[in-house]
Amino acid sequence: MLGYILMGLLALIIIIFIANLRIVQQSRAYVIERLGAYNKTWGTGLKWKIPFADRVARVVSLKEQVVDFPPQPVITRDNVSMQIDTVIYFEITDPKLYTYGVENPLTAIENLTATTLRNIIGEMELDQTLTSRDTINAKMRAILDEATDPWGIKVNRVELRNILPPRDIQEAMEKQMRAERERRQSILRAEGEKKSAILVAEGEKEAAILRADAEKQAAVLRAEGEAKAILAVQSATAEGIRMINESNPCGAVIQIKALEAFATAANGRATKIIIPSEIQGLAGLAAGIKEIFTDPERPPAAK
């Protein structure tokens, strides 16, 4: 009988021992209380707590967490009411402070975010609010990180996901954006037409320059050809005069050349030519010699 009791006690002790074993997973922390007071924080590994004295007060996740808060009504400095919803990225750095610092950490962060957002937006106008998201995010992150530090929470990032102004403000903004797009389109069209006109003018200018250059080169070539022709004629004339001078011609030859020059000058177009007397006598002599050699009835000269 005593043996059964001892075996039962041993089995109970083993069950109690196994029941108080805990395996702490990676990126988790267990906050342990002993007799109602904080005792320690368990990290990763196999842990055992004292039965009936220790208890796990809270299991804390050390991963970065993301919380999306619903839209909050805010009013800008120019009295425009809008709805803004925020997204908070945070992580728990001290499980003890997170457990005992605030009763409901997420509710506390939500309320703190709403009040901080109202304070920041209340100092800005509508246009500034719509164009300064990065500034608002940075201010909110700094304020929330400082305020949640006693709770063992580190705020890594704050994002304004949606900014919803009233419907009439949205319609006015859409009209303004449409007008701005039309203005930019008109500017782009005008710039395109301007560039096109400039290109056409430059093309015409280059074409005119090329035509003028071609005409200039053609004129230069014509002038060079005429100059070469004149030089050739003058060279031929000078060469003829030189050869005549070297041959030492008699007066009759010179008169005959003069007669040929008069014939060339007339060329069938002159109506009256005055021939010097010397050339006239020479012309009569040439005509008589021609008749002697061409008259068939005249007997040949005696040898």
Does the pLDDT value for residue 102 go beyond 90?
Answer: no
Q: Give the separation between CA 96 and CA 99, rounded to whole angstroms.
A: 5
Q: Give the separation between CA 262 and CA 269, rounded to whole angstroms.
A: 12
**For residues 262-275, average pLDDT:** 56
Does the pLDDT value for residue 14 go beyond 80?
Answer: yes
**Domains detected in the chain:** 14-60 (no CATH), 65-165 (3.30.479.30)
- Residues making up the chain, counted from first to last: 303
Q: Give the separation between CA 5 and CA 11, rounded to whole angstroms.
A: 10
DSSP secondary structure code for residue 299 in this structure: P
**What pLDDT digit, counting tens, does each position of 47-83 carry?**
888 888 888 888 898 899 999 888 888 888 888 888 8
**Beta carbons within 10 angstroms of residue 140's beta carbon:** 23
**Beta carbons within 10 angstroms of residue 65's beta carbon:** 14
pLDDT of residue 258: 61
Does the pLDDT value for residue 261 go beyond 90?
Answer: no
Of the candidates 26, 178, 141, 161, which has an alpha carbon nearest to the alpha carbon of residue 87? Answer: 161
Confidence of residue 105 (pLDDT cuts 50, 70, 90): confident
Q: What is the DSSP string of 34-64?
A: ETTEEEEEE-SEEEE--TTTEEEEEEEE-S-
Range with lowest mean pLDDT among 54-68, 79-93, 153-167, 251-265: 251-265
Does the pLDDT value for residue 223 go beyond 90?
Answer: no
Q: Give the separation between CA 280 and CA 300, rounded to whole angstroms.
A: 28
pLDDT of residue 173: 72
Question: What tokens appear for 18 in the block?
Answer: 């196994």
**For residues 180-194, average pLDDT:** 88
**For residues 228-244, average pLDDT:** 79
Cβ neighbours of residue 45 closer than 8 Å, sequence gap 6 or more:
23, 24
pLDDT of residue 236: 79
Does the pLDDT value for residue 181 go beyond 70?
Answer: yes
pLDDT of residue 22: 85
Q: Give the separation between CA 96 and CA 33, rounded to whole angstroms.
A: 11
Does the pLDDT value for residue 294 go beyond 60?
Answer: no
23-35: string of b/e by CB count within 10 Å (b at 16+)?
ebeeebbbbbbee
Range with lowest mean pLDDT among 60-64, 131-135, 236-240, 262-266: 262-266
